[in-house]
């Protein structure tokens, strides 16, 4: 979701009928993953953050890989399914 929102620009989700925070991860003992998802950076300081950062990078690379990735038409279909009001 973070990648799709970044790719399609910063949009006002509330105006389009969505909650301001579409998703979150909350661990009672670790607050870093939630903070990471609210940021736009890469963080390898802790194992959870490393794997979240690497997963994001992998997703981004997959969408941009012209040989193995997805076409713009498929990307638009994915966006319409996950966020139909965008």
Q: What is the pTM of this model?
A: 0.63
Task: Give me the numbers of helices (H) and strands (E) for the chain, helices first please.
Answer: 4, 0
Tokens 């940021």 -> residue = 39
Quick one: pLDDT band at residue 16, thresholds 50, 70, 90?
low
Torsion of CA 37, 40, 46, 50, to 10 degrees: 90
- The predicted-structure confidence for 34-57, as pLDDT tens digits, reads as follows 777 777 678 888 888 898 889 888
For residue 54, the enclosing domain spans: 2-82
The mean pLDDT value for 7-35 works out to 69
Say if residue 15's pLDDT is above 70: no
| Structure-model confidence comparison of residues 69 and 36, the more confident one | 36
Q: Above 70 in pLDDT, residue 66?
A: no
Sign of dihedral through CA atoms 50, 3, 57, 74? positive
pLDDT of residue 40: 66
How many domains is the chain partitioned into structurally? 1
d(CA 44, CA 41): 10
- The mean pLDDT value for 65-77 works out to 75
d(CA 5, CA 12): 10
């Amino acid at each position: 979701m973070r990648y799709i929102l970044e790719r399609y620009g910063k949009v006002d989700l509330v105006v389009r009928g969505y909650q301001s925070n579409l998703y979150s991860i909350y661990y009672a003992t670790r607050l870093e993953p939630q903070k990471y998802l609210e940021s736009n950076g890469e963080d390898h300081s802790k194992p959870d953050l490393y794997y979240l950062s690497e997963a994001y990078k992998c997703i981004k690379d997959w969408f941009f890989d012209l040989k193995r990735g997805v076409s713009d038409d498929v990307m638009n279909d994915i966006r319409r399914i996950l966020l139909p009001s965008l």
